[in-house]
Chains A and B, each alone.
Chain A
Amino acid sequence: MKSLLRKIFLVDLIEGLWVTFRSQHPKNIVTEQYPAERPRIAERYRGAPRLNVHPETKETLCIACNLCALACPEHLIVVTSERNEQTRRKELTTFTYDISRCMFCGLCEDACPTDALELSQDFELAAFTREGAIWDRQMLEEGPVPTRYRY
């Protein structure tokens, strides 16, 4: 009997609709208006790679040890170096990083002994060509410059 009355008066449907109406209040809006509103990215976020330079001398922190390239499961990092005869140290010449194949797992970052390679909070990585996704040393040091739209 009770269920019949519930059926006749569409109680179950009205209960459901009431949930929908409760969520109409503006304070319940959770949608983020990207790109007008920038998302808040967590500090540990693993995004675009960055090759850090020394804050004062602007010299690269990378010691060309190749550990990141060995740690990467996708083998997408290529480090080349040259021996400096005066200081008898290895010096970084080129550093290529193919972000189109990267899965942002963070293994390279963990392997780096000098904190030179870091996955930063930048997440806008689109490029117009496939070659654009292969980042060289300069790009890695400067970071991506995505277009920011104004509203």
Chain B
Amino acid sequence: MPEATFLDANELVLNMGPQHPSTHGVLRVVLKLDGEKILGAECVIGYLHRGVEKIGENRTYQMFAPYVDRMDYVAAVSNALGYCLAVEKLLGVEAPPRAQAVRVILTELNRIASHLLWLGTHALDIGAITPLFYVMREREDILNIYEKYCGARLTTHAFRIGGLQYEVYEGMERDVKAFCKKFLPRVDEYEELLTENRIWKDRLINVGILNAEDCKAYGVTGPLLRAAGVKWDIRKAHPYSGYEKYDFEIPTRENGDTYDRYIVRIQEMRQSVRIIEQAVEGIPEGPIMAKVGKVIKPPVGEAYVSIEAPKGELGYFIVSDGSTQPYRLRVRPPSFVNLQALDKMSRGSLVADIVAIIGTIDIVLGEVDR
């Protein structure tokens, strides 16, 4: 934003963050203001940079798997799925059907957990404190399932290259079914709190509009794109891990404003429950691990795999030189790409809305900075 250096008499530059509670981490936004109106916003990122891609080049394929959980730590299982699929593509193996079904269950649970955290913090930013406590209650159930399945709650390291490390625990199906049954009324409850609420509507409708064209121009994916009316979901477009077997819809909306993105995410949670219910009904019997050696040495080549993470398209590009370590590993994180659109979305709105707009992009700074 070079214009920010030349200010008119009535213009002002304001720093927001990096320690601001509503930037969801350590994001610094430089705002150029005319009174209350935002003329431009520039993101300064990198406060959480850990060099994950470089770490990946210095670890073997198995060793790097726990690190991907630490990028988008709210949706660690989705990250792991993308990484495992990318290495599996390099190796030319596919996870057995049983592993695929369990993977789908866990990633969809993760999508719900991620959207729940988003809903809670987004509502909190806007001033509705109550939903945060309710969503944490439901998220706890999901985390308990993770803890029982793989032994960790947040950075799970649940999948291994070629399948799964852990067999389904005794009673997992029961737990998942019980969660699904309990969860749908809870979503209604959140909607009761928010959807028709006057303050909620006033704060969100026509705020941070991003239309379909701009979405495509910026490469924005995920709920932001779907709220602008584009029916694009990688689970349908390029099915992976057996998603073609499940029956679900892609929720879309027309206006592409913050309220529409809220509705899309709420609908997505309901669709995720649908997928989980179908997947848990028919987990096939069989092995959980494909034939992958103890030492993973993919042939020379490259592979790109993208999946539909809760926040958008999450891609992994891996170049192998035939050794046990990747030659180059590149991550396409959805939050990072979506955050670019902040400037476009916030121009012309008021200072108070920037909090809603940052919240609606649903960023995790661990993933933006990597």
Contacts and interface: CB of A to CB of B under 8 A. Distances in A.
Interface in A7-24: 7, 12-13, 15-16, 18-20, 23
Given A30-B137, A106-B157, A107-B63, A42 B151 contact: yes
Given A44-B149, A44-B150, A110 B192 contact: no
Nearest to A110: B165
B151 A73 contact: no
Contacts of A73: 59, 63-64, 66-67
Nearest to B201: A12
Contacts of B196: 12, 15
Nearest to B152: A46
Nearest to B165: A110
Contacts of B169: 43-44
A106 B151 contact: yes
B130 A44 contact: no
A45 B151 contact: yes
Contact of B197 (A12, A30, A106): A12
A103 B155 contact: yes
Contacts of B149: 44
Contacts of B155: 103, 105
Contacts of A41: 147
A71 interface: yes
B204 to A, nearest CB: 14
| From B65, B134, B151, B155, residue with most partner A Cβ within 10 Å | B151
A107 B147 contact: no
Nearest to B166: A44
Contacts of A30: 137, 140
A107 B62 contact: yes
Contacts of A23: 134
A6 B140 CA distance: 35
A5 to B, nearest CB: 13
Interface in A97-119: 103-107, 110, 119
Interface string A72-109: 11000000000000000000000000000001111100
Contacts of B65: 105
Interface string B132-165: 0010010010001001111110010100000001
B66 A44 contact: no
A103 B197 contact: no
A16 B192 contact: yes
7 contacts: A12-B198, A16-B193, A23-B134, A43-B169, A45-B147, A106-B151, A106-B157
Give me the 10 closest cross-chain CB pairs, A-B, nearest first.
A105-B66, A73-B63, A44-B151, A46-B151, A42-B148, A42-B147, A12-B196, A16-B193, A105-B157, A45-B151
Interface of A: 7, 12-13, 15-16, 18-20, 23, 30, 41-46, 71-73, 103-107, 110, 119
